[in-house]
Structure 1
Amino acid sequence: MSERLAQLDGTALPSTHHSLAWGVPPGESGTLHVLAVTGGITVGPREGRTILFGRNRPDVHVCVGENDRRISRHQGSLTHRDDQWWISTSGRLPLRLPGSRLLFSEDEPLPLAPGYTPLFVRGSSGREHLLEVHVGARDGGRQRTEHDAPTRPPHTWALSPSERLALIVLGQRYLLHEAYPNPLSWRQAAEHLNDLRPDEDWTHKKVEHLVVGVRTRLSRGGVAGLTREEVGEPVGNTLNHNLVRELMESTTLVPPDLGLLNHD
């Protein structure tokens, strides 16, 4: 990858780099950041510049799903033309964009909007491989500075390890950017948690207790829509829906957290 990177005049991002959902440093308008669990790159915009991603590490710029043979060796590409970055796929499996939009190899490339876009490709045994993309905004340094400012509200919420795991399981459909997500039920979440951590004796009551505690704490912290009194009856999944949305919008939970569920 280093030789390919040198040809692009880009910068490598290590596998330990934080999620691009948390922002990127200020830079030239149209700068592209691409990140997978194996690492990624940052490159500037240039007409005709193409970034390749897929399973075959020696032949791509960003490696995705290198241990999953359902992922194509050359899964797709990001190309800069007409002052925009365009995403296309050449793999057998489609790419899934936010809103559950599927992009197939027969489709025309799609333009990427400035800001953060998570891309998913489903591999073997239901594994979800994430490719994070961030395109630098076009309206000057002000917006980029806001993206990079660590003290900019909304702030992230403190969660214990058990709370974080339970909420990732409960809200996994949101983190996968499904079109019409719903939280798992208490019982579904407990079953999934017992599969992940069989020694911790998860029950639906334990999951409910942890999540209700987080809702109460965030409600006292000023987050609306987390109590029965606010939303009215019937409540259904509304309280947990509002909770997961707040955790995602504050970047307390981000798509790479799916790694805890053996999605990579």
Structure 2
Amino acid sequence: MMDKTVPPAGGEYLAAGHESLALGVPASTPGTIYVLSVIGGVSFGPRDGRTILFGRNRPEVHVCVGENDRSVSRCHGRLIHREHQWWLSTAGRLPVRLPGSRVLFPQDEPIPLAEGYTPLFVPGSGEREHLLEVFVTGPDHERPVPRHSDPTAPPRIWHLSETERLALIVLGQRYLRHEAYPQPLTWKQTAEQLAELQPRARWSAKKVEHAIVDTRTRLSKDGVAGLTREEVGEPLGNALNDNLIRHLMKSTTLIPPDLRQLDVIAD
């Protein structure tokens, strides 16, 4: 049984209620790792072969996560230091989810963790997910400086032509209405509604497709991810348009009040 009344050999315990690692960590030796759940965690310096276990069985792991959730395995995963990096592997019945919707299964090869902050999501029963925060310090690591009075950095709002904007509002209206499980309209559905709004504009499914594809291509060339077939892979489904609409809403290029344009017959 692990005695958590004293610091672990070569490391330190982080108490329950420790502030989120997303806020940064103290200045540390490069390669130091911090691992934190809602009930506490640990920090360790880099050493080849050093292993940190996490899972439900509090007495037998370094960091306990989901201790009252039987869908979390007793030892759900481990973090191992080798080749000057920390590597993540899973051993639980359910995979661990990483940022970017990446999922790591027990049979997968360990993956290296990047320097800085990485949230890991350990699946539990039903729709529950248990957060495990990880922070690996780099050579230039510094704790973020508070900037309480600095001006708020504005999001990048993308320029859209009037034609592109109206087509995107119609295409993505379910997202703008905040429906529970939104999907883009089809090219045909979008063209039919646009034809009602602009009877003389000669809208067709092909015209809609060209306008949206041109927008995706332009934003992709300017660094927006997830807008090309090569990035997303097959089967595509609605993924490219879904990613486009979500990005435009996140950047506030499209906002719910834009739906007002669907109530105005324009020519």
**TM-score, length of structure 1 as denominator length:** 0.57
The 2-side partners of 1:156 and 1:12 are apart by: 35
Instruction: Note if contact 2:58-2:67 (Cα within 8 Å) is conserved in structure 1.
Output: yes
Q: Distance in 2 between matches of 1:40 and 1:183?
A: 38
CA deviation after TM superposition for structure 1 residue 9, in Å? 2.2
More helix by share: 1
Partner of 1:149: 145
Q: Is the aligned partner of 1:242 residue 2:251?
A: yes
Aligned equivalent of 2:42: 41
Say how many residue pairs are matched: 169
Q: d(CA) in 2 for partners of 1:41 and 1:130?
A: 15
Q: Deviations for 1:141-173, whole angstroms, at most 9, x for unmatched residues?
A: xx322x33223997889xxxxxxxxxxxxxxxx
Letter in 2 for 1:242: S
Residue 86 (structure 1) aligns with: 87
Distance 2:251 2:65 in 1: 32
Structure 2 CA distance for partners of 1:148 and 1:72, relative to 1, 3 Å: same
> Which residue number corresponds to residue 73 of structure 1?
74
Q: 1:238 to 1:85 in 2, by over 3 A?
A: closer
Cα distance in 1 for residues equivalent to 2:176 and 2:61? 37
Once the two structures are superposed, the pairs formed by residues 78-227 of structure 1 within 5 Å of their partners are 78-138=79-139, 143-145=140-142, 147-151=143-147, 185-186=177-178, 188=180
Report deviation, 1:238. 5.7
3-state SS of 1:53 partner: strand
Give the 3-state SS of the residue equivalent to 1:117 in structure 2. strand
Distance change (3 Å), C-alpha of 1:154 and 1:50? farther
User: What is the distance in 1 between the residues matched to 2:59 and 2:85?
Assistant: 27
In the alignment, is the contact (CA less than 8 A) between 2:56 and 2:65 conserved in 1?
yes
Structure with the greater alpha carbon radius of gyration = 2
Instruction: Please name the residue that 1:23 is paired with.
Output: 24
- How much is the aligned-residue C-alpha RMSD, in angstroms? 2.9
| Cα distance in 2, alignment partners of residues 29 and 42 from structure 1 | 12
1:80-102 residue CA offsets vs partner (Å, 9 max, x unmatched): 01110000001110011111111
* Residue aligning to 1:262: none
Deviation per CA, 1:168-196: give whole Å up to 9, x if none.
Answer: xxxxxxxxxxxxxx97954649xxxxxxx
What TM-score comes out, normalization by structure 2 length? 0.56
Preserved CA contact (<8 Å) 1:4 1:61:
no
**What does the per-residue CA deviation read over 1:7-43, in whole Å, with 9 as the maximum and x for residues that have no partner?**
4321111221111111111110000000111111111
SS in 2 for 1:58: helix
Q: Note the residue ranges of structure 2 that are not aligned, 5 or more in a row.
A: 154-173, 182-243, 253-267
1:237 shift after superposition: 5.5
Q: Deviations over 1:60-99 (max 9, x none)?
A: 0000100100000000000001110000001110011111
**Kept in 1: contact 2:7–2:13 (CA 8 A):** no
- What are structure 1's unaligned runs of at least 5 residues? 158-181, 190-234, 244-264
Given that residues 16 and 40 in structure 2 are in contact (C-alpha distance below 8 angstroms), is that contact kept between their aligned partners in structure 1? yes
- Give percent identity, aligned residues only: 54
Provide the rounded CA distance (Å) in 2 between the counterparts of 1:30 and 1:36.
20
Query: Contact (CA 8 Å) 1:89, 1:103: kept in 2 or not?
Result: yes
Q: Distance in 1 between matches of 2:117 and 2:34?
A: 9
DSSP 3-state at the match of 1:47: coil
Q: Deviations over 1:91-122 (max 9, x none)?
A: 11001111111111111110001001111121
